[in-house]
């Protein structure tokens, strides 16, 4: 039975929401040792080569813990229904975690993760903080444009309407919407005219 000496070496990593086997290796702890601690119940394997300390809450809001794990597992970006939900721009309850990955990449996923392959995958990526974790997510404008392209028209119009009614930084930027619509080949002007007149 191994002592907890190896765990002591990676104390810094154990305090993070998650860490990779590559990071652990820089502290002199190999993948076989990490696998041992997973079996011993000291670590949890979040995804391929990604771990976290057992018993450690990833986020304060338990509702989003699975989403955080899904993003870490896929190395993707929160999109569509999941993004709308985080931005409070939909009444839809995500039954799956919607994660975007670049077109042409493959990811093995299971469970309640919905993978969407995007061209222009880098366009509009920003971050969203959930508890101690910072997740990549598409900004509000890109999320609305993607909704018109990939979701029902009802969900998209509702998101647009809600986003235009918000105030301050949460309010949709019409110029940005138009730029993204052009870049992603989505006709949004008729809906913009209806919602802004």
Per the document, the length of the chain is 197
Neighbours of 193 (CB within 10 A): 9
State the average pLDDT over residues 173-196.
92
Question: What pLDDT was estimated at residue 161?
Answer: 95
State the average pLDDT over residues 88-101.
89
pTM score, whole prediction: 0.71
State the average pLDDT over residues 153-181.
95
Q: Which residues of the chain does CATH 1.10.10 include? A: 5-53
Residue 1 has pLDDT above 60, yes or no: no
Residue 110 has pLDDT above 70, yes or no: no
Question: What pLDDT was estimated at residue 39?
Answer: 87
Residue 115 has pLDDT above 70, yes or no: yes
**Measuring CA to CA, which residue among 35, 27, 33 is closest to residue 11?**
27
Residue indicated by tokens 């191994």? 2
**Measuring CA to CA, which residue among 108, 97, 102 is closest to residue 135?**
97
**Band of residue 184 on the pLDDT scale cut at 50, 70, 90:** very high
Tokens of 12: 């810094």
**CA 65/CA 130 separation, integer angstroms:** 9
Question: What pLDDT was estimated at residue 48?
Answer: 67
For the stretch 13-27, pLDDT in tens is 887 767 888 888 999
Question: What pLDDT was estimated at residue 58?
Answer: 54
State the average pLDDT over residues 56-71.
68
CATH of domain 5-53: 1.10.10
* Dihedral pair phi/psi, residue 67, rounded to 5°: -65, -45
Q: Which regions of 34-170 does DSSP assign to beta strands (E)?
A: 43-47, 50-53, 77-78, 97-102, 113-118, 125-130, 133-138
**Band of residue 64 on the pLDDT scale cut at 50, 70, 90:** confident
Choice between 78 and 68, residue whose per-residue pLDDT is larger: 78
pLDDT, averaged across the chain: 86
**Measuring CA to CA, which residue among 58, 47, 52, 54 is closest to residue 132?**
58
Neighbours of 154 (CB within 10 A): 9
């Amino acid at each position: 039975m191994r002592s907890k000496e190896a765990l002591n070496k990676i104390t810094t990593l154990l305090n993070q929401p998650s860490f990779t086997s590559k990071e652990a290796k820089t502290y002199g702890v190999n993948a076989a040792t990490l696998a041992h601690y997973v079996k011993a119940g000291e670590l949890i394997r979040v995804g391929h080569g990604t771990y976290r300390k057992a018993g450690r809450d990833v986020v304060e809001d338990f509702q989003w813990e699975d989403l955080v794990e899904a993003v870490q597992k896929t190395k993707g970006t929160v999109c569509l229904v999941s993004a709308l939900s985080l931005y409070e721009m939909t009444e839809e309850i995500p039954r799956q975690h919607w994660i975007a990955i670049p077109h042409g990449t493959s990811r093995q996923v299971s469970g309640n993760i919905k993978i969407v392959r995007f061209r222009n995958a880098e366009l509009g990526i920003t971050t969203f903080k959930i508890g101690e974790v910072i997740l990549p997510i598409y900004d509000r404008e890109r999320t609305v444009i993607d909704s018109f392209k990939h979701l029902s028209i009802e969900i998209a119009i509702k998101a647009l309407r809600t986003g235009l009614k918000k105030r301050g930084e949460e309010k949709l930027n019409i110029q940005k919407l138009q730029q993204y619509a052009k870049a992603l080949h989505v006709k949004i002007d008729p809906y913009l005219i209806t919602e802004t007149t």
